[in-house]
Structure 1
Amino acid sequence: MHVSLPHNYPQEEPRLFVRSSALDRQQQKLLNKFLASQISSLDRGELCITSAVQWLQDNITSYIQSAKQHVEPESDMKECVTTFHRMWIYSHHIYRQELRKKIVDYAKRLNLTGFCLSGKPGVICVEGEKEQCEEFWHDIRYPKWKHISCKHTESKEVTGKIDGMRLFHSFEEVMFAAHGDYGLRNDYHMDLGQFFEYLKQHQSEHIFQILFGIEGKS
């Protein structure tokens, strides 16, 4: 169970999301819907994480059993079609250590690959299943992140595993030689020439112009 607490919790509801390999997507979606409803029914100001855990322990078995009943016999199962998704996200800057850690942790938790370019400007690429990419995009903007936008997306339906579509083998934070004022504001720019080379190494040099509006140069 992933928990995101807003700054004014418990006056505001927490965001809870449950994921389990024992649940199919439909049952997982239904479980999270009813968990959210359970949290909404509690009085505001009441600490509710313990209540959520207790509710989950009391009810998870029925959802798992229901999911197993809907599994088709292996001989009749069709190949799964998955939507592979890649998002290119631009920010004016990414400096704060806790934010950089949050980005990496979220991406790895959701089995996404790609990178986070820290500094100024800030660029994030995530790739994987569409549902996980959209969850990542929602989570990193919560509660509200100014000066951030999704500049470009790429999607394709894939039969079977999606790993062959990935341009990145893992999710990593990247930084390049910077120039500018290293004062208290950390107002310095990443070397975009080195960033362009990084994109070329991952067959993504075309994205440079989409992100910055200029043609990339080594």
Structure 2
Amino acid sequence: MTASVIECLELQLLEVEMMYSMFPNKGEFCLEDANALRRVKSYLKNPTGPLPPRIGFVVMVTDYQGDVELQVGFPHNYPNVKLQLFGRSYYLDRKQQLLLNQDLTAYISTFDAGELCVCAAVQWLRDNSGPYFRKSKLFTEPVAKVKIVKVMFHRMWIYSHQICRPELRKRIWDCAKRLSLTGFFLTGKPGIICVEGKKEQCEEFWHTIRYPNWKHISCKHAETVQVEGNGDELRIFQTFEELQFESHGNFRHDYHMDLGKFLEYLKQHKSEHIFQMLFGIESKSSGR
């Protein structure tokens, strides 16, 4: 029981960390008890005595038609048990608020035990809250005006000591495709991943592949630019692909990659400067 609770609390801290990353502005993410995180961390260092207080927080999910306060309370055994969420909005009448929460609960119930789901719940509200606002008796059609849509375009460069197992490669591929990200992953030793697209999709990718059991992985560099439109003009990769640059020997036996070939690939995509960030060594330029 204790071991299970400890694992759950560790995952809860990781999800809170992700919330802070996704909602950095004041008022967007608020803990119900600021001491809860400190007491959970203290318990994990010395897991004796009574359990720490449960972590609870509110996330403000913004839609141009209205805002939804998503109230979250972590049971000690989450994510091994289902999570109870509740969305509240001054822009929704009682009926539409009830329907929204029923549909949100139905969506969350599709997640398996052990899966973190708050990030997915936030994205579901962003994608699906509009119809509930429009059907609400409290809804007022916004004044027509030209709205300039801005997005945060993001690119992440991720390093791992290796990417070899077929199931891991499939997980990376499927996640990037599902989130409409472009970039690549370099199979073998070392393993390199680059993803680019909307910031929230990149962060969801990072969250999905990193947790809960990939230990030797780190984001070496990240780039964020706020742009009008969808940011597609900033992409340096047109698709998402798997790369294999075999060194000597058979890839199936030694897995080591030819970093010279990888550097040439980066040069072709005007990303040679990343080489030193990933490996801590300078690439040889043509001028030397």
Please say whether Structure 1 and Structure 2 have the same fold, judged by a TM-score greater than 0.5: yes
1:129 has 2:129 as partner: no
Higher RCO, 1 vs 2 (CA within 8 Å, ≥6 residues apart): 1
Structure 1 CA distance, aligned partners of 2:209 and 2:246? 26
Structure 2 counterpart of 1:112:
181
Please show how residues 1-218 of structure 1 align to structure 2 within 5 Å.
26=62, 30=68, 33=70, 55-56=105-106, 63-68=129-134, 69=139, 72=142, 75-179=144-248, 186-217=253-284
How much does 1:87 deviate?
A: 0.4
Structure 2 CA distance, aligned partners of 1:147 and 1:55? 34
Alignment check: 8 A CA contact 1:86 1:154 kept: yes
How much does 1:178 deviate?
A: 2.7
* 5+ long unaligned stretches in structure 1: 1-7, 16-24
Alignment check: 8 A CA contact 1:193 1:217 kept: no
How much does 1:70 deviate?
A: 7.4
Structure 1 counterpart of 2:87:
none
Alignment check: 8 A CA contact 1:176 1:194 kept: yes
Of structures 1 and 2, the larger Rg is shown by 2
Percent of paired sites with the same residue: 52
How much does 1:53 deviate?
A: 7.4
Alignment check: 8 A CA contact 1:179 1:188 kept: no
Structure 2 CA distance, aligned partners of 1:67 and 1:204? 44
Structure 2 CA distance, aligned partners of 1:66 and 1:53? 11
The C-alpha deviation readout for 1:18-52, integer Å capped at 9, x for no partner, is: xxxxxxx636x959x46x66xx67x9899869xx9
* 5+ long unaligned stretches in structure 2: 13-60, 84-101, 108-124
Which amino acid in 2 is paired with 1:177?
A: E
Aligned residue pairs total: 191
Q: Normalization by structure 2: what TM-score? A: 0.55
User: In 2 relative to 1, CA 116–46 (structure 1 residues): closer, same or farther, beyond 3 Å?
Assistant: closer
**RMSD over aligned Cα atoms:** 3.8
Structure 2 CA distance, aligned partners of 1:179 and 1:149? 27
The C-alpha deviation readout for 1:125-179, integer Å capped at 9, x for no partner, is: 0111111111111111111211100000111110112100000011111111232
Structure 2 counterpart of 1:22:
none
